[in-house]
Amino acid sequence: MTGRTFASDNNSGVHPAVLEAIARANEGHVHAYGDDPYTQDAIAVLRRHFGDDAAIWFVFNGTGANVTALSSVMRPFNAVICADTAHINTDECGAPERFTGSKLIDLPSGDAKLTPEQVRGAVRGVGVEHHVQPRVLSLTQSTEYGTVYTPEELRALADTAHAEGLLVHVDGARISNAAAALGCTLAEITRDVGVDVLSLGGTKNGLLLGEAVVFFDPALAPDFAFVRKQSAQLASKMRFVSAQFSALFEDGLWLHNASHANAMAALLAREAAGLPGVVITQKVEANEVFARVPAEKIAALQAIADFYVWDERTAEVRWVTSWDTTQEDVRGFVAGMREVLGG
Amino acid sequence: MTGRTFASDNNSGVHPAVLEAIARANEGHVHAYGDDPYTQDAIAVLRRHFGDDAAIWFVFNGTGANVTALSSVMRPFNAVICADTAHINTDECGAPERFTGSKLIDLPSGDAKLTPEQVRGAVRGVGVEHHVQPRVLSLTQSTEYGTVYTPEELRALADTAHAEGLLVHVDGARISNAAAALGCTLAEITRDVGVDVLSLGGTKNGLLLGEAVVFFDPALAPDFAFVRKQSAQLASKMRFVSAQFSALFEDGLWLHNASHANAMAALLAREAAGLPGVVITQKVEANEVFARVPAEKIAALQAIADFYVWDERTAEVRWVTSWDTTQEDVRGFVAGMREVLGG
Amino acid sequence: MTGRTFASDNNSGVHPAVLEAIARANEGHVHAYGDDPYTQDAIAVLRRHFGDDAAIWFVFNGTGANVTALSSVMRPFNAVICADTAHINTDECGAPERFTGSKLIDLPSGDAKLTPEQVRGAVRGVGVEHHVQPRVLSLTQSTEYGTVYTPEELRALADTAHAEGLLVHVDGARISNAAAALGCTLAEITRDVGVDVLSLGGTKNGLLLGEAVVFFDPALAPDFAFVRKQSAQLASKMRFVSAQFSALFEDGLWLHNASHANAMAALLAREAAGLPGVVITQKVEANEVFARVPAEKIAALQAIADFYVWDERTAEVRWVTSWDTTQEDVRGFVAGMREVLGG
Amino acid sequence: MTGRTFASDNNSGVHPAVLEAIARANEGHVHAYGDDPYTQDAIAVLRRHFGDDAAIWFVFNGTGANVTALSSVMRPFNAVICADTAHINTDECGAPERFTGSKLIDLPSGDAKLTPEQVRGAVRGVGVEHHVQPRVLSLTQSTEYGTVYTPEELRALADTAHAEGLLVHVDGARISNAAAALGCTLAEITRDVGVDVLSLGGTKNGLLLGEAVVFFDPALAPDFAFVRKQSAQLASKMRFVSAQFSALFEDGLWLHNASHANAMAALLAREAAGLPGVVITQKVEANEVFARVPAEKIAALQAIADFYVWDERTAEVRWVTSWDTTQEDVRGFVAGMREVLGG
């Protein structure tokens, strides 16, 4: 094996073009904290995707993007509605509650996607001082189960949210994978369907480090610069974060990387589906494959290439592909699994 | 001119050896979030400086290091004692208050250094529920005025702090410059003199991005991993942060860079002191020079090479040198100033 | 009708003996903030119930008791496990999240009671930095549905909690009603079964205002005085809060009031159960009755005596009795309902 | 002696008329949480003082009033400018920092009063993301040193604040004493001079417990109901808080009590000024007297009637008079002091 695993797209490296962009930005002195030409360029690049009036801010990581995005549009007595599987709900060690001071109202979901009916049902107690006041609907795209909201589904959710007085946040740590899966532009699954604020993922799709917060209406968060700084998410040598975004979003590298990761997941799902005892449990729409496997074989399978057990009780596992996963990685993994599982 | 300025060491670039270390770390897949050999190596490298039992954690930036260090050892009713000039007090947009929920007790200081008497005087109301309970003494080394605490001064402050029931935190965004100035090891001005927790700077001394939090007694913050994650300071592709620390602290690059920046500041101070109307206002011990200049000439001076006005009322300015500042940069700047100022 | 309703025990008045105690305490000057003989007496009175080493603190209201109790034993990365119906989860406008900075993990419950299995299932991700770390199991006694945990149930829950590394908090806004229902002392359903910290209700049981926080092991919250003050829950003229507690808990008034309220609820449930279209939906064990009634008659029923609709979708209503509810109040209400409902 | 001391107006009792109002409110059931005729009446009473469009909210205590007032008009990156002596800065155990997440910028003041020049000088870094953004000027009236701002001084401060983009908050724990001292109505030293939000004191002036937050422009804090509830400052049996306010502010009891306390302080200052070794250190304008006394006699003086040592280093003490302080209390205290001090 190559050393590449199926544990997480966070385990992957940096795309060479991104490293080159960092090296190119390493020239002389520029102003710190984002007042530099590299950052201006990266913002211009992203505005070509998201619109000329989008307010775009770079932060360090996905949790940083989510908590600054959320806390900049909420008061502590507000609440966020999200799926129970949402990264903000389960994988950020309570950072959203800590930064916002607010409750997350988490709704059950078999496929990590929410429906307008669920959202409507979760908006309760409006105007009553005893109850938290829902303010944001947070959706993950692609979801934590590798599923994808269609533009129509997003539009319906956003319309519902807005009718209920909610803003729509998208945790887009893997939004490039969703766009690739749908054959959509990034705007078509965010701005155009009514999303208000986006956590735009970079790290999982080939960056060294870096995410962006995108407000489609800059009036939503006029004070975001202060929120970012006070949240310890402002990079001093900003050029080295922003130059990565230019590299990723300038010429389609984002789409190339995401499409490739998706294709590798599709290949893996297709090949693994035929293995004895393997049941694919979620639609494979982006770069994640969920499957039930024989519980007693899990350790042997992980010895081939590392991956996470999602739910020990059901022996459900998660396989994630990355921009740098190769066909050989997939075929080698499947071949190894076949040896372990028979068939 | 070269494009290099005297505005901030945050304006400088990445040392080539650091960029190379990043590139070398870009090989295959490793576990995310720090469970990887690069991070283990970086911790081992830093333990050679700080002791085998030091608990060492990497974070994104200086504010992140300070707020996670402080909040991990405080309860909200505690307080931090610091100089009024401290970065945590003036330049972090209230991040310390927001993360800790606590008061900063800021003490006046002409040279940005505190004395044991001041610390003792600031510890009041202990045990009385109406008053915040001081818990941490935070010192900056080198200070925001480019001055340096000697080991003896640090020892006296730490002894006082401990006698008063306080822990000692050092904001070491420029601690390498202080060590270089003093001819001390890093341990000699931290662990050996009683410092409890250190924000170890990397960015200003040649990294792309990255700081470390060092606890000399790991029992002080057994839960730091959770504090870091919940504070949105945990990098997913951690190897690219930690590999930089190995490059900087493995073979003396930290000292080389800091010594060079210090030497450039000394040169600049020496040369500028002879210019008409220029008065150096602080001891130049590290890589910062503070000077009063003729107010009406400031704009013309900034046109030569950018720098910050520290206090408009007194026409005091700050010149910062970096690891990449050259003698030519300094001499060119001074020559330009001479033309503007006459003499 | 008498003007008394079935909306809430918060709508009831102050027991005359409590008002008299306040008046008696209104003599000359005493030290503020609890350093006074009335507060010492009240603590002594409560220690006769809860043990000589209990740490007892008075606060203003139930939310204040809950948030100071919880935040004093938690760090922000911790979590509270509670029923989805819990007052802290639904009726405190997010105060627990705001004061603790932590997540509430709310578990579904048909009768507002939790089981050891549920608690065990909710303790996940222990030691993993990405996940909140459960620290407190919070139970409500009597519950928000008027049901009551038996001592055996509490013991089993506390044993489970402790085995999982959790502390046990009881929101005892109506714990007197629970003790009365069970024929237990207050200690028998708190200290003796392993409860660690209790929010001891006073207001709903006849006080003007006031709740207490009781730590059975004072070492659990050595800093509570500071937490209380910083949480704005320290009364300056404390004697007028504490004197009420002496009045309530000195000679059995607490039990008298609670038993009476329970008896009125039992009477109401018995009488109402026979009315056409009325279905009692929860066990009536304390001073609350939940019932489904004909949806189209709700307004007419509320015109007889005010009460809350618990769930509009199912036409479930809540009737609460108080220490000052009379048999005539109940019989008058039932008679009025009979007129509206027929039968 | 009578048992009455000079330690604090918090040590005083409840005015009989206030207790009677509580007793009168203890009739039948009313809606909880303020939706009751007593609260409506109290709001109407206070609007006669503060204007028909004032938004008026009752809370438990002074810290509660201050933190809800401040946090409802601030974001965490904002800051409060106040005197270093301010109660919010020194006597609330960091509650303002904890509730707001913000920095307090405390300015030195010999008499506990601020000047417009100081305020202007403290507004720095506006619009710069590294610095907290001042948002509120908080003044205490009467001050912690018993001094009083004149209407002209308040107007000048408010004009300055507004010109700098700040709101004006008054901590009016003793505002009745200030109004009495100035011969002004309450509006003349708040609304009419540009104050935006007032913490209206009740407890120190004869209430059992209770303060109010008054917004002169209700649009300033449209969400205050949620802030109050989430801050655990909403009383369930609200009528017993609000009825006290009606009693105090309906017929001039507030002015009677405050004037009396002021007169007793004036008497005490006059009489004590003649004692050997006693130097009055602040203008005695309200109900507090600050004096230096012979350090070695402090204990003997406290044995006559309790009081606080304000500053041990200078042997400065504070004597506070209350609504219930009598001439005999004062004369007895002075006579006792004369015996101790000679003369």
Q: At what angle do helices D175-182 and D253-273 cross, to 10 degrees?
A: 80
Q: Which residues on C lie below 8 Å from B125 (Cβ)?
A: none
- The 10s digit of each residue's pLDDT in D137-190 is 999 999 999 999 999 999 999 999 999 999 999 999 999 999 999 999 999 999
- Chain D residue numbers with beta carbons less than 8 Å from the beta carbon of B10 are none
Per the CB < 8 A criterion, the answer to whether A43 and A239 are in contact is no
Token match 């504090």: residue? Answer: B227
The two most distant CA atoms of chain B are separated, in Å, by 61
State how far the Cα of D243 lies from the Cα of D248, in Å rounded to an integer: 9
Question: To 10 degrees, what angle do helices C16-25 and C239-250 make?
Answer: 140
Question: What SS3 state is found at D92?
Answer: coil
**B2: which chain A residues are within 8 Å (Cβ-Cβ)?**
28
The span from the first CA to the last CA of chain C, in angstroms, equals: 21
DSSP state of A129: T
Report yes or no: C236 at the B interface, CB cutoff 8 Å: no
C-alpha dihedral, C189 to C192 to C196 to C198, nearest 10°: 30
Q: Does C92 touch chain D (CB under 8 A)?
A: yes
Query: Alpha-carbon distance B332 to B113, whole Å?
Result: 32
In this prediction, residues D218-239 reach a mean pLDDT of 97
Q: Give pLDDT tens digits for C243-286.
A: 999 999 999 999 999 999 999 999 999 999 999 999 999 999 99
Q: Measure D29 CA to nearest chain A CA, in Å.
A: 20
| Residue C220 three-state SS | helix
D211-215, strands of its sheet edge to edge: D55-59, D211-215, D197-200, D167-172, D133-140, D78-83, D103-107
pLDDT exceeds 60 at position C180: yes
Is the minimum CB–CB distance between C43 and chain B shorter than 8 Å? no
Q: Residue B3: what pLDDT? A: 77
Q: Which residues of C touch D3 (CB under 8 A)?
A: 27-29
**Residue in C closest to B72 by C-alpha:** C75
Residue type, A333: F
Across chain B, where does the E strand assignment appear?
55-59, 78-83, 103-107, 133-140, 167-172, 197-200, 211-215, 279-280, 288-292, 308-311, 316-320
Largest CA distance in chain A: 61
C-alpha R_g of chain C: 20
Residues from chain B that touch A95, judged by Cβ atoms under 8 A, are 229-232
Question: Chain C closest CA to A64's CA: distance in Å?
Answer: 14
Please answer yes or no on whether C209 and D33 come within 8 Å at the CB atom.
no
Q: Are C192 and C184 in contact (CB under 8 A)?
A: no
Distance from CA of C33 to the nearest CA of B (A): 10
Q: Has residue A101 got a pLDDT over 60?
A: yes
- The per-residue pLDDT of chain A, averaged, comes to 97
Show the tokens assigned to C38.
């009335």
CB within 8 Å of B113: residues ≥ 6 apart: B83, B139, B143, B147, B149, B153
Q: Do B226 and C129 touch (CB under 8 A)?
A: yes
* Cis-peptide, bond into residue D142, ω within 30° of zero: yes
**pLDDT tens-digit map of B106-156:** 999 999 999 999 999 999 999 999 999 999 999 999 999 999 999 999 999
Write the DSSP assignment of D141-166 as a string of letters. Answer: SS-TTS----HHHHHHHHHHHHHTT-
Q: Angle at CA D14, nearest 5°, toward D9 and D18?
A: 130
Q: Inform me whether the C-beta atom of residue A308 falls under 8 Å from chain C C-beta atoms.
A: no
C77, C230, C234 ranked by CB distance to B223: nearest = C77
Q: Do D206 and D14 touch, CB atoms closer than 8 A?
A: yes
Provide the percentage of residues in chain A whose pLDDT is more than 90: 98
Whether residue C229 and residue B77 make contact (CB cut-off 8 A), yes or no, is yes
Task: State chain D's maximal CA–CA distance in angstroms.
Answer: 61
pLDDT, position C2:
52
Record the tokens describing residue C60, joined without a space: 């203003």
pLDDT tens-digit map of A298-329:
999 999 999 999 999 999 999 999 999 999 99
Instruction: Assess contact for B97 and B104: CB atoms under 8 A.
Output: yes
What share of chain C in percent tops pLDDT 90? 98
How far is A220 from A72, CA to CA, in rounded Å? Answer: 8
State the CB neighbour count (10 A cutoff) for residue D7: 21
- D77-112 residue pLDDT tens: 999 999 999 999 999 999 999 999 999 999 999 999
Report the residue from C76, C133, C223 with minimal CB separation from B77: C223
The CA distance from B117 to the nearest CA of chain A, in Å, is 31
Give the whole-angstrom CA distance, residue A45 versus residue A28.
23
Average pLDDT rounded to a whole number, residues C109-119: 98
Contact B236 A62 (CB under 8 A): yes
**Which residues of C fall within a CB distance of 8 Å from A92?**
130
Chains touching chain B through at least 3 C-beta pairs below 8 angstroms are A, C, D
- Taking the CA atoms of residue D269, residue D271, residue D273 and residue D274 in that order, the dihedral angle to the nearest 10 degrees is 180
Task: Measure the CA–CA gap between D148 and D178, rounded to whole angstroms.
Answer: 6
Is C214:C54 a contact under the CB 8 Å cutoff? yes
Residues D265/D174, Cβ–Cβ less than 8 Å: no
pLDDT at D1: 42
B92 with D130: Cβ contact below 8 A: yes
CA pseudo-torsion sign B17, B18, B23, B25: positive
Contacts of C17 in chain D (CB under 8 A): none
- Contact at 8 Å (CB) between C144 and C110? no
Tell me the two tokens of residue C259.
């038993």
- Give the closest-approach CA distance of A325 to chain D in angstroms: 40
Answer whether B62 sits within 8 Å of A233, measured CB to CB: no
- Strands, sheet with C279-280, edge to edge from the N-terminal-most edge strand: C279-280, C288-292, C316-320, C308-311
Strand partners of residue C290: C318
* SS3 state at C171: strand
Task: Let me know: does D122 contact D81? Beta carbons within 8 Å.
Answer: yes
Of B75, B129, B223, the CB nearest to C225: B129
Rg (CA), chain A: 20
Our CA-based measurement puts residue A100 at a distance from the nearest CA of chain C, in whole angstroms, of: 8
Helix (H) or strand (E) holding B77: none
Q: Is the pLDDT at A202 greater than 90, yes or no?
A: yes
Q: What is the side-by-side order of every strand in the sheet holding B316-320?
A: B279-280, B288-292, B316-320, B308-311
Identify the burial level of B52 via C-beta atoms within 10 angstroms of its C-beta, where 0-12 means exposed, 13-18 middle and 19 or more buried: exposed
User: Is residue A312 less than 8 Å (CB to CB) from chain C?
Assistant: no
User: Considering the entire predicted model, what is its pTM?
Assistant: 0.97
Closest approach of A238 to chain B, Cα-based (Å): 9
A55 close contact with D: CB closer than 8 A: no
C-beta atoms of C230 and B130 within 8 A: no
D76 lies within 8 A of chain B by CB = yes
From chain C, pick out residues whose CB is under 8 angstroms from the CB of D60. Answer: 60-61, 232-233, 235
Report the complex ipTM.
Answer: 0.97
* Residue C232 contacts residue C79 (beta carbons within 8 Å): no
CA–CA distance, D265 with D181 (Å, rounded to integer): 11
| Whole-number percent of chain D with pLDDT over 70 | 99
- Residues in A touching C104 (Cβ below 8 Å): 103
Q: CB-CB: which of C79, C91, C98 is closest to A94?
A: C79
**C-alpha closest to that of A7 among A317, A262, A231, A216:** A317
Contact B76 C230 (CB under 8 A): yes
| CA dihedral angle for residue B74, residue B75, residue B76, residue B80, rounded to 10 degrees | -30
Beta bridge partners of D138: D169
Nearest Cα neighbor of D205 from D125, D261, D164, D167 is D261
Task: Give the closest of D22, D27, D230 to C98, CB-based.
Answer: D230
Q: In what order do the strands lie in the sheet with A316-320?
A: A279-280, A288-292, A316-320, A308-311
Beta strand B316-320 with B288-292: parallel, antiparallel or unpaired?
antiparallel
Nearest CA in chain A to D129: A226
Q: How far apart are CA A267 and CA A274, in angstroms?
A: 12
Query: What average pLDDT does this structure show over A202-214?
Result: 98
**pLDDT tens-digit profile of B208-219?**
999 999 999 999
Closest CA to A326 of D327, C251, B170, B29: B29
